Structure 1
Amino acid sequence: MDWCLMDEQVLRSLIKWPNVPHCFGWLVLDRRGQWRMRDEFSQANQLAGNVIRHTTLNEYISRNYAHDSLGRYFFQNGPQRVFITLDATPFIARIIPSASGPELLTQCGTEIKPQGVLSDEKGNIYITGLFQQTFSDQVDSAVFTKTESLSVALLHDHDLDLFSEQSQVNEDACSFRGFWQWKGNQLPIEPIHSRELAHRFNFIKAPSE
């Protein structure tokens, strides 16, 4: 999937309607990289919401996925900024086979350049490294910059077995460390507590007004 900085129609609408109110709580990125819609009933009862199945809509959200300097991730829907509740992390990683070897991609189809691995108290695996991201300028909300910056992605649970086959781990009562073999490189696996992730990688899991 090609990564677009922002849809042209989105940028035009921002210029035409610059003061449309933001939206909070209605869109979720779940642990499997699925976009979910949460209506008022789902929000009030803390339900997961409905998975968005429409392919074109999923692609549109992914192309217009961005973040601001506060660490809030959002989908720029025309002139409206729809802030996203994150079940885990801003990105979900998949190991995808290809003719040239496995690729490591986000839920948006963008490449991850891994630098290391973290494992939390529940055994979740997180890939850290450089991610292609779109950043919103805080002075002019119609200005977006494409960057390659440090972030983190929860590894999809369907890829844990493959990850384990490529890893060497030493586990005891106090630590979980080792190495992950990725394209000829040994990347360190280190422990982390899940509550540390948001602060360390500057993201807000549940943006609010």
Structure 2
Amino acid sequence: MDDQVLRSLIKWPNVPDCYGWLALDRRGQWRMRDEFTQQNYLPGQVIQHASLNEFIIRNYACDEIGRYFFQNGPQRVFITLDATPWIARITPSETGQHLINQCHQTMEPAAALSDEKGNIYIVGTVDQTIYGNNKSISNNNQFIRRDSQTVALLHDHDLEHFSELAKLREEACSFGGSWNWQGKQLPLDPIHSDELASRFNYIAQPRP
């Protein structure tokens, strides 16, 4: 979280929250959604401005009930999630393959899930910023950073690559089995897409 953002919260603590105007799509792109876009259920315009994208990434956080938001100075802009709070890519490097999310963080995977639509989700740990207003998280309405287990939709461009890593067995509504990641066999289990939000404690469409 940027220092200037934290200072602005102290200076202007009562700025109204914003809902519906910013979305994270299935490919990890931030999208602006004006009133016309929202009323007509359109995806919105992809934000191309590099500095604005980086500003959103640095100030991306969630609250204790699972609503993700961009802290835009003193204003909290809650984010509509097309899929999950994180979108992951399999990225090669000189030291091997890594799972990188839309905030440029490396995820350490523990498992994967497959849903009835053929989507793959990575279950892993992310160092994320959390805002809390109760004693279980913070005593003074503070932002803290901590490692949290969460879920990331695997970018559809990486599905073929993932299939090369996986050993599949057919389940009732999806696939299960295992997948090889950096020499480890990790579980691949079926899940219904409707179960994701409750299981991983996030709200896809925050409301006032």
Same fold (TM over 0.5): yes
User: TM-score of the superposition, structure 1-length normalised?
Assistant: 0.95
Aligned to 1:165: 164
Aligned to 2:203: 204
* SS of alignment partner, residue 129 of structure 1: strand
Aligned to 1:12: 7
User: TM-score of the superposition, structure 2-length normalised?
Assistant: 0.95
- The whole-number CA distance in structure 2 between the counterparts of 1:205 and 1:182 is 28
CA, structure 1 residues 78+167, in 2 after alignment: closer, same or farther (shift >3 Å)?
same
Instruction: Give the CA deviation at 1:176.
Output: 1.6
Say if 2:70 is the partner of 1:75: yes
5 Å-filtered alignment, 1:44-193, equals 44-139=39-134, 140-141=140-141, 143-173=142-172, 176-193=175-192
Question: Percent of aligned pairs with the same residue?
Answer: 64
Contact 1:61 1:75 in 2 (8 A): yes
Gaps of 5+ in 2: 135-139
- The whole-number CA distance in structure 2 between the counterparts of 1:133 and 1:208 is 22
Match of 1:38, as an amino acid? R
Aligned residues between the structures? 203
Instruction: Give the CA deviation at 1:138.
Output: 1.5
Instruction: Give the CA deviation at 1:173.
Output: 4.3
Contact 2:12 2:74 in 1 (8 A): yes
The ranges of structure 1 where at least 4 consecutive aligned residues each deviate by more than 3 angstroms after the TM superposition are 172-175
CA, structure 1 residues 137+185, in 2 after alignment: closer, same or farther (shift >3 Å)?
same
- How large is the RMSD of aligned CA atoms in angstroms? 1.0
- The whole-number CA distance in structure 1 between the counterparts of 2:173 and 2:131 is 40
- The whole-number CA distance in structure 1 between the counterparts of 2:70 and 2:85 is 12
Gaps of 5+ in 1: 1-5
Instruction: Give the CA deviation at 1:147.
Output: 0.7
* SS of alignment partner, residue 103 of structure 2: coil
CA, structure 1 residues 147+172, in 2 after alignment: closer, same or farther (shift >3 Å)?
closer
* SS of alignment partner, residue 78 of structure 2: strand
Instruction: Give the CA deviation at 1:172.
Output: 4.6
Instruction: Give the CA deviation at 1:49.
Output: 0.3
